[in-house]
Structure 1
Amino acid sequence: MKRPTSPRMPAFDAAHASPEQKVVLDEILSGPRGNLNGPFLGWIHSPELAQHAQRLGAFCRYRTGLPLRLSELAILVTAARWQAQAEWYIHYPIALQAGVPEALAEQIRTGAEPQFEDRDDALIYAFATELYEAKRVSEETYARTMERFGREVTVNLVGLLGYYALVAMTLNVFNMRAEGQNTLPFEE
């Protein structure tokens, strides 16, 4: 399948935004993100979806109960699974700053067998990988995740993985790149 080489969405001009789009834009820009980088310029063409998705995203990114390192690791696993160029580009430096080892991130990006120094990292990777590959999580991985993180955070982890899969799908379908992105982490 031939992939598109340019964005499929027209450039968005905030000066010509509908009232519904302006509400979403204002909420995104005044929230913890403070920018429209990522899928938002795709979602803005459906303001109701954009509003729900950006609120879910703020929760999944900042309030799951997982340490930032583990959330960002789960996002990198998702970006690699979907080969989402912009998602990786945006979250890779955040993940490194949060403590994800650079060598581990590179192993995930390239599809190499990850070598873990941290048991929590290995658990998050196992959970996400099983869910993406088998469409289920094994009893063993589920039990370990519940024991380590508890019910609420485990539910939130599933939400985080689902949300970032939605982000990846949006970025891939509309061939979106991150602001300033001039390199691609995955082959096209």
Structure 2
Amino acid sequence: MNWPPQRLSAPDPQFYSQQQRQIHDTISAGPRGGVRGPLAVWLHRPELAARAQDLGRYCRYDTSLAPHLSELAILITGRVFSSEYEWQAHKGPALAAGIAPDIIDAIRTDNRPVFDDPELEVVHDVARAAHENRRLDDALYARAADVLGEQRLVDLVGLLGYYTLISLTINIFSIPPQGGGAPELDNA
């Protein structure tokens, strides 16, 4: 697949400002192990990169949500935004976190998965409603608060917001998936 040209590449490291270098080194030393994709583009605005990476670190690694719930929400966000980079970056971690391949494939093809876990189901339903309706109706909110509890629901909403920022950055600046490869999402 020939991906469209990336509209904005990462700044050239040999011309980093002191602030860009510091943020780059902080991100590289953290759990991500490097600065890629949207994080690299954000280095054009080091203040944004620093704040977004702090929020991202919390949402990805320190949230009250179990990894399989976080990864499900991230995949749904990538699917809703047809963000190939995000989808391909999180499909493997979703599988490793225990999300069944048939659930992942249903999301990929924009179909509702069959769930036997009420937590996965409510995360799916909240994520879809948040992205499609920009709100939750009273019944879904009550179910989400009951199944997840208020603290995990707050973390879920934060995670959805952060990965919306990621997906918009990917799509607006045409950031291709790492290693290229064939698209997996329709409308990508």
Distance 1:8 1:79 in 2: 19
1:44 aligns with 2:51: no
Shift of residue 146, structure 1, vs aligned partner: 1.4
Superposed, 1:48-59 pairs within 5 Å as 48-59=47-58
Distance 2:49 2:124 in 1: 28
Shift of residue 32, structure 1, vs aligned partner: 1.3
Shift of residue 66, structure 1, vs aligned partner: 0.6
Residues 106 and 112 in structure 2, CA contact (< 8 A), matched pair in contact too: yes
Distance 1:177 1:67 in 2: 28
Distance 1:154 1:115 in 2: 21
**Residue aligning to 2:145:** 146
- Which letter maps to 1:53? A
Residues 70 and 121 in structure 1, CA contact (< 8 A), matched pair in contact too: yes
Distance 2:61 2:51 in 1: 16
Shift of residue 11, structure 1, vs aligned partner: 4.8
- Which letter maps to 2:177? A
> What number of residue pairs does the alignment pair up?
185
Distance 1:25 1:101 in 2: 35
The unaligned stretches of length 5 or more in structure 1 are none
Shift of residue 25, structure 1, vs aligned partner: 0.3
Normalised TM-score (structure 1) = 0.93
Structure 1 runs of 4+ with >6 Å offset: none
Deviation digits for residues 46-93 of structure 1, max 9, x if unmatched? 110000000000000011101000000000000000000100010000
- Which letter maps to 2:18? P
Shift of residue 177, structure 1, vs aligned partner: 1.8
- Which letter maps to 1:178? P
Superposed, 1:1-188 pairs within 5 Å as 5-187=4-186, 188=188
What secondary structure does 2:149 align onto?
helix
What secondary structure does 1:39 align onto?
helix
Shift of residue 134, structure 1, vs aligned partner: 1.3
Distance 1:11 1:27 in 2: 16
- Which letter maps to 1:100? I
Distance 1:37 1:177 in 2: 11
- Which letter maps to 1:153? R
Distance 1:21 1:185 in 2: 33
Distance 2:143 2:14 in 1: 50
Residues 83 and 170 in structure 2, CA contact (< 8 A), matched pair in contact too: yes
Shift of residue 104, structure 1, vs aligned partner: 0.7
Normalised TM-score (structure 2) = 0.93
